[in-house]
Amino acid sequence: MIKLDNVTKIFNRGKANEIKAITNITLNIVEQDYLVIVGSNGSGKSTLLNLIAGSTLPSTGDIEINGHPVTHLHDYQRSRWIARVFQNPLSGTAPDLSILDNFRLAALRTKNKGFNIGTNINFKKQVQEKISILNMGLENKLEQPMGTLSGGQRQALTLLMSVMDECKVLLLDEPTAALDPRSAKLVMQTANRLINEFKLTAILITHNLKDAHAHGNRLIQMVEGEILQDYPNEKKLNLTQNDVFAWFS
């Protein structure tokens, strides 16, 4: 589903503050893989995710998504396949727009945003049904601005927004880092549920090693822009939480 071939990313090339964020990474993520990436700050996890999403373009190497070469495509062009949840709950939603408007845009992620009014009664019903699975009582507050909701509610809604339109790949960039434990649990549960239900290929970046151990079917540890360890499902099942903790001590 996602193929990275010898991808390198260098920031500020040729300057005194040159940083080699990603070095020669080759990675093949197959369909319906749920890949978890761990690594300390500055190990290149987020850059790797941004390279896949298209927020930054690689210095060298090739990237392929769903059989399409996407190396030179921008993030808004790769949204045909990719939905994202950001670390900052503010980044995944538009705070001054209503919940309904946010969902409308999400429902058009792979489509043209045209000149008709799409937020009609049918669409409202569709969103209400979607939101009601969260049991947060938000289904009757569709006109409320997104900014009035808590971080946990916004992350949960961002997750739901990702499956409003056809979605192949879900990128989760530390989605629970800014949340309290209870909201974090709910967000991870919702993520797992959607990944299973919609048969998504997913990548999760996390600093929470418990989550890293509990979720996904493949685990990668990154160090200084390279993949240090790669545990496919059968090997990951044999890992204990303490093994993972030991990587960081």
Q: Summarize as ranges the residues that interact with other proteins (CB under 8 A).
A: 53, 55, 74-77, 79-80, 82-84, 86, 90-98, 101-102, 104-106, 108-111, 113-119, 143, 145
**CA-based diameter of the chain, in Å?**
57
Residue in the structure block whose two tokens are 């927004």: 161
The minimum distance between CB 244 and other proteins, in angstroms, equals 29
**Bridge partners for 63 per DSSP:** 4
Given the complex with other proteins, which of 165 and 224 has the nearer CB atom?
165
Given the complex with other proteins, which of 64 and 101 has the nearer CB atom?
101
The minimum distance between CB 159 and other proteins, in angstroms, equals 13
Given the complex with other proteins, which of 84 and 213 has the nearer CB atom?
84
The minimum distance between CB 116 and other proteins, in angstroms, equals 6
The minimum distance between CB 83 and other proteins, in angstroms, equals 7
Given the complex with other proteins, which of 10 and 90 has the nearer CB atom?
90
Q: Which of 69, 90, 95 is nearest to 81 (CA)?
A: 69
Given the complex with other proteins, which of 90 and 223 has the nearer CB atom?
90
Given the complex with other proteins, which of 79 and 221 has the nearer CB atom?
79
The minimum distance between CB 223 and other proteins, in angstroms, equals 27
Q: Supply 154's token pair.
A: 């916004």
The minimum distance between CB 157 and other proteins, in angstroms, equals 12
Q: What is the DSSP string of 160-201?
A: HHHTSS--SEEEEESTTTTS-HHHHHHHHHHHHHHHHHTT-E
Cα torsion 66, 71, 72, 76 to 10°: value is: 50
CA dist list (Å): 247 to 77, 174, 240, 244: 37, 19, 12, 5
> Residue 232: enclosing H or E segment and its boundaries?
none
Q: Supply 141's token pair.
A: 């507050």
